[in-house]
Amino acid sequence: MPKQDFFEDVYEVVRLIPSGKVTSYGAIARYLGAARSSRLVGYAMNASHNQATYVPAHRVVNRNGLLTGKHHFSDETRMQILLESEGLIIENEQVKDFKIHFWDPNEALI
DNA sequence: AATGTGACATACC
DNA sequence: TGGTATGCCACAT
Protein backbone atom coordinates (compact mmCIF):
# COMPACT_ATOMS: atom_id res chain seq x y z
CA MET A 1 0.00 0.00 0.00
CA PRO A 2 1.91 2.35 1.24
CA LYS A 3 4.47 4.05 -0.66
CA GLN A 4 5.18 3.04 -4.13
CA ASP A 5 8.58 3.16 -5.59
CA PHE A 6 9.75 6.60 -6.47
CA PHE A 7 10.39 5.32 -9.95
CA GLU A 8 6.78 4.31 -10.44
CA ASP A 9 5.65 7.80 -9.57
CA VAL A 10 8.06 9.18 -12.11
CA TYR A 11 6.84 6.83 -14.80
CA GLU A 12 3.27 7.74 -14.05
CA VAL A 13 3.92 11.43 -14.50
CA VAL A 14 5.95 10.91 -17.65
CA ARG A 15 3.15 8.88 -19.19
CA LEU A 16 0.81 11.81 -18.58
CA ILE A 17 2.87 14.16 -20.68
CA PRO A 18 0.70 15.06 -23.70
CA SER A 19 2.03 14.44 -27.15
CA GLY A 20 3.91 17.41 -28.46
CA LYS A 21 4.83 18.56 -24.99
CA VAL A 22 7.98 18.25 -22.96
CA THR A 23 8.98 18.73 -19.37
CA SER A 24 12.11 18.78 -17.30
CA TYR A 25 13.53 16.40 -14.76
CA GLY A 26 13.41 19.07 -12.12
CA ALA A 27 9.73 19.79 -12.73
CA ILE A 28 8.84 16.15 -12.28
CA ALA A 29 10.93 15.94 -9.15
CA ARG A 30 9.18 18.98 -7.73
CA TYR A 31 5.78 17.60 -8.52
CA LEU A 32 6.65 14.46 -6.61
CA GLY A 33 7.69 16.56 -3.67
CA ALA A 34 11.33 15.76 -4.12
CA ALA A 35 12.69 18.95 -5.56
CA ARG A 36 16.22 17.91 -4.82
CA SER A 37 15.92 14.54 -6.43
CA SER A 38 16.00 15.62 -10.03
CA ARG A 39 18.84 13.21 -10.64
CA LEU A 40 16.65 10.40 -9.48
CA VAL A 41 14.23 11.24 -12.25
CA GLY A 42 16.96 10.74 -14.79
CA TYR A 43 18.02 7.64 -12.98
CA ALA A 44 14.46 6.40 -13.20
CA MET A 45 14.44 6.95 -16.93
CA ASN A 46 17.51 4.84 -17.17
CA ALA A 47 15.58 2.03 -15.54
CA SER A 48 12.47 2.72 -17.58
CA HIS A 49 13.72 0.31 -20.20
CA ASN A 50 12.95 -2.45 -17.77
CA GLN A 51 9.39 -1.36 -17.29
CA ALA A 52 6.66 -3.36 -18.95
CA THR A 53 4.69 -0.22 -19.64
CA TYR A 54 6.06 2.15 -22.20
CA VAL A 55 7.45 5.36 -20.88
CA PRO A 56 7.80 8.28 -23.31
CA ALA A 57 11.18 9.24 -21.95
CA HIS A 58 11.85 11.32 -25.03
CA ARG A 59 9.46 13.94 -23.68
CA VAL A 60 11.68 14.55 -20.74
CA VAL A 61 14.63 16.83 -21.28
CA ASN A 62 16.83 18.84 -19.03
CA ARG A 63 16.15 22.36 -17.87
CA ASN A 64 17.65 23.86 -20.99
CA GLY A 65 15.50 21.79 -23.30
CA LEU A 66 18.58 19.89 -24.30
CA LEU A 67 18.15 16.28 -25.35
CA THR A 68 20.76 15.05 -22.93
CA GLY A 69 19.27 11.59 -22.69
CA LYS A 70 19.29 10.78 -26.36
CA HIS A 71 22.42 8.71 -25.98
CA HIS A 72 20.44 6.27 -23.93
CA PHE A 73 18.11 5.42 -26.77
CA SER A 74 18.82 2.71 -29.25
CA ASP A 75 19.71 5.34 -31.80
CA GLU A 76 20.78 8.84 -30.98
CA THR A 77 18.41 10.19 -33.57
CA ARG A 78 15.51 8.20 -32.15
CA MET A 79 14.66 10.73 -29.48
CA GLN A 80 14.75 13.66 -31.89
CA ILE A 81 12.70 11.84 -34.49
CA LEU A 82 10.05 10.96 -31.94
CA LEU A 83 9.78 14.53 -30.78
CA GLU A 84 9.66 15.89 -34.29
CA SER A 85 6.94 13.44 -35.19
CA GLU A 86 4.93 14.96 -32.36
CA GLY A 87 5.22 18.42 -33.80
CA LEU A 88 8.24 19.68 -31.93
CA ILE A 89 11.22 21.27 -33.55
CA ILE A 90 14.66 20.17 -32.49
CA GLU A 91 17.41 22.57 -33.24
CA ASN A 92 20.98 21.75 -32.40
CA GLU A 93 19.93 18.94 -30.07
CA GLN A 94 17.67 21.36 -28.29
CA VAL A 95 13.91 21.86 -28.23
CA LYS A 96 13.02 25.03 -30.02
CA ASP A 97 10.67 27.31 -28.10
CA PHE A 98 11.13 25.09 -25.11
CA LYS A 99 9.15 27.43 -22.89
CA ILE A 100 6.16 27.31 -25.18
CA HIS A 101 6.06 23.54 -25.40
CA PHE A 102 6.93 23.09 -21.77
CA TRP A 103 4.41 21.02 -19.83
CA ASP A 104 4.53 21.64 -16.12
CA PRO A 105 2.98 18.82 -14.06
CA ASN A 106 2.65 21.19 -11.15
CA GLU A 107 0.12 23.20 -13.13
CA ALA A 108 -1.41 20.51 -15.31
CA LEU A 109 -2.01 17.96 -12.57
CA ILE A 110 -3.03 20.32 -9.84
C1' DA B 1 25.19 -3.06 5.26
C1' DA B 2 28.02 -0.13 2.73
C1' DT B 3 29.48 1.89 -1.34
C1' DG B 4 28.71 3.40 -5.98
C1' DT B 5 25.86 5.66 -9.36
C1' DG B 6 23.44 9.22 -12.29
C1' DA B 7 19.23 10.95 -18.81
C1' DC B 8 19.97 17.09 -13.07
C1' DA B 9 20.48 21.63 -11.09
C1' DT B 10 23.01 25.14 -9.10
C1' DA B 11 27.09 27.62 -7.54
C1' DC B 12 31.50 29.00 -8.10
C1' DC B 13 36.05 30.12 -10.29
C1' DT C 1 31.42 32.94 -20.93
C1' DG C 2 32.34 28.38 -20.10
C1' DG C 3 34.24 24.73 -17.70
C1' DT C 4 34.61 22.50 -13.10
C1' DA C 5 32.87 21.30 -8.55
C1' DT C 6 29.49 20.11 -5.38
C1' DG C 7 24.85 18.90 -3.44
C1' DC C 8 21.27 15.66 -3.56
C1' DC C 9 18.88 11.16 -2.67
C1' DA C 10 16.62 6.82 -4.06
C1' DC C 11 18.05 2.71 -6.52
C1' DA C 12 21.54 -1.03 -7.85
C1' DT C 13 25.10 -4.21 -6.61
- d(Cα A43, Cα A64) in Å, to the nearest integer? 18
Q: Give the mean pLDDT of A79-95.
A: 94
Number of structural domains chain A divides into:
1
pLDDT for residue A1: 44
- d(Cα A42, Cα A24) in Å, to the nearest integer? 10
pLDDT for residue A34: 87
pLDDT for residue A108: 87
The predicted model scores a pTM of: 0.91
Within a domain: residue A45?
yes
Q: Could you tell me the distance in Å between the CA of residue A29 and the C1' of nucleotide C6?
A: 19
Q: Which nucleotide is nearest to A39 (CA to C1')?
A: B8
Q: CB neighbours (10 Å) of residue A105?
A: 19
Within a domain: residue A109?
no
Q: Indicate the residue type of A26.
A: G
Within a domain: residue A108?
no
**pLDDT tens digits for range A1-44:** 445 689 999 999 999 999 999 999 999 999 998 888 999 999 99
